[in-house]
Amino acid sequence: MALVLLTASLGACAAKAQVRTEVEVPLLDPPPPPPRVVTIYQEAPPLVPAPPVVEAVPARPAGRPARPDAKPEAPAPVEPVPEAPRPSPPSLTLTPSPGAEAQTVVAIRELMARATRDLSRVNAASLNADGRVQAEAARRFLQQANEALKGRNVVFAGKLADKAATIAALLVR
């Protein structure tokens, strides 16, 4: 019996007193529609057809009367006008002017040397995977620039050397 009393007392302690109340919910009736304004329109007067428009046809000017006595004159001979020499169309390949080619090659070689020097200062072990890929791309650009210089494609070699130098300078930082 003590067990029953103990269980009943524990059950009573665990129970919470709750008051059940129902909240009044307002009715959700829609408001009445606004009043309608109905306008009655007057009938329009019937349309009177307009008189047809007659377009005036312009009269043809009278032709010149033919002169039976006059002989037709022969046109004066036209001297050919010498044409100005046309400039040659621009070349599709970019090449420096002949005198500046040697200077351009020297500048490209200096750029390649700077890129090679920067790449030699980069510690490949400290680079992440993307950095190693970029370093390898710079080395390939240098190799392709060297091949382009051998093939006398100076403009392409300059672009490749510039790319390699830019990547190498970023990797050194």
Give the per-residue pLDDT at 158. 92
Rg of the chain taking only CA atoms, in angstroms: 50
Under the banding of pLDDT at 50, 70 and 90, the label for residue 43 is confident
Given a cut of 60, whether residue 142 has pLDDT beyond it is: yes
Average pLDDT of the residues in 76-90: 66
- Of the listed ranges 8-17, 24-33, 121-130, 150-159, the least confidently predicted one is 8-17
Mean pLDDT, the chain, whole residue set? 79
Buried b / exposed e over 88-121, threshold 16 CB at 10 Å, is eeeeeeeeeeeeeeeebbeebeebbeebeebbee
Give the per-residue pLDDT at 11. 67
* Of 71, 98, 73, 94, nearest in space to 158 by CA: 94
Q: Which residue has the tokens 């390649």?
A: 112
Given a cut of 90, whether residue 114 has pLDDT beyond it is: yes
Give the per-residue pLDDT at 13. 64
Contact between 108 and 148 under an 8 Å Cβ cutoff? The reply is no
Residue pLDDT, tens place only, 115-140: 999 999 988 888 899 999 999 999 99
For residue 76, give Cα distances in angstroms to 27, 57, 79, 84. Answer: 106, 39, 9, 24
Cα 142 from Cα 151, distance rounded (Å): 14
Give the per-residue pLDDT at 159. 93
Considering the entire predicted model, what is its pTM?
A: 0.45
Given a cut of 70, whether residue 91 has pLDDT beyond it is: no
Q: Where are the domains of the chain?
A: 101-172
Under the banding of pLDDT at 50, 70 and 90, the label for residue 40 is confident
Centre a 10 Å sphere on the Cβ of residue 72 and count the other Cβ atoms it contains.
6
Cα 63 from Cα 77, distance rounded (Å): 28
